[in-house]
Structure 1
């Protein structure tokens, strides 16, 4: 799996943010703030090889809908195969910029959590702004946007859409990653 991931990184560096897939340590830290008992819908941007997806599926309640949006065709096919027997899991080959359209397509009125593995440092400012604005608009009032980045460089950009951010670091990932848990409303 790592060789396939590296291949995708070298051939599509703007859409694959790292040389290696995320660690299970990072996946566990990314989902630890999710109230799985009450989450009606969780959206994942850029599931890649499915590290976070597997953790979401393992912990979610049976009635939680998962909407996975993957831009990279290779990763889309892999994740679709991984979740083919799961109920209430939808995999879309598309862009997170279009999250609103996909929610309408699946008749999902609100999102409780958005997890993101998108490399904001590699995306244009227009694409980043569009994704963050649309994410903010689809989240329920108490919803959370949880993303990781390899630097804190994009924290100010994210804060312009989500004023409340809690930051943690996961050292057991290669490379180490910052986890931003973001909320729409200020304290």
Structure 2
């Protein structure tokens, strides 16, 4: 989908490539279980994950675990001027980094768990999201947490909304299949390491008349 040009571009404060990598590496060392890879996502992965987003329709885009903003910046570049990007992260250092680096009124960064996504959506003035993107490593989460996040995510999405997930294993398939009516899976080989991409779509099933 083509992006929608903004009347006023989001302001990204000066941040060098090395500064972003430095922050990412330090957090990986401190919290390896919270970060899926020691290397930030590639531009190829970002483009592939966001290729099918209907930017003209989307008014609320949610991101779990934005980290240093690799996806966040691209989402803001493509997003509608009237849309909102809600970024949820458990890591306070990443929250502070994003708030210091990106000055865009459409971005709302909150500290908390993806399991509380519906509360954060309500607090942002919305009812449901059009898209929810996640790169958090579900395979390292405590027992039951991944299932809870997927269930909450489905409820948080509008009908025909999509949960976009990028992971480095096939583990996510077993969490998404019970919750979503439609699931697509593919691999982005140009990322290091190669990354699995899942698109789980919420389809409302109409009850049949008796």
Q: What range describes the TM-score normalised by the shorter chain of this pair?
A: over 0.9
Paired residues, what number?
Answer: 186
Give matches, 1:129-144, under 5 Å. 129-144=147-162
Match of 2:24 in 1: 5
**Is 1:111 matched with 2:129?**
yes
The structure that has the greater radius of gyration is: 2
- Uncovered stretches (5+) of structure 1, i.e. residues with no partner: none
State the alpha-carbon separation in 2 of the partners of residues 83 and 98 from structure 1. 24
Match of 1:33 in 2: 52
Any conservation in 1 of the 2:180–2:200 contact (CA below 8 Å)?
yes
Match of 2:16 in 1: none
- SS of residue matched to 1:118: coil
Match of 2:112 in 1: 94
Alpha carbon RMSD of aligned pairs, Å? 1.5
- SS of residue matched to 1:125: coil
Match of 1:53 in 2: 72
Any conservation in 1 of the 2:160–2:204 contact (CA below 8 Å)?
no
Any conservation in 1 of the 2:185–2:199 contact (CA below 8 Å)?
yes
- Uncovered stretches (5+) of structure 2, i.e. residues with no partner: 1-19, 206-210
Q: TM-score, normalised by structure 2?
A: 0.84
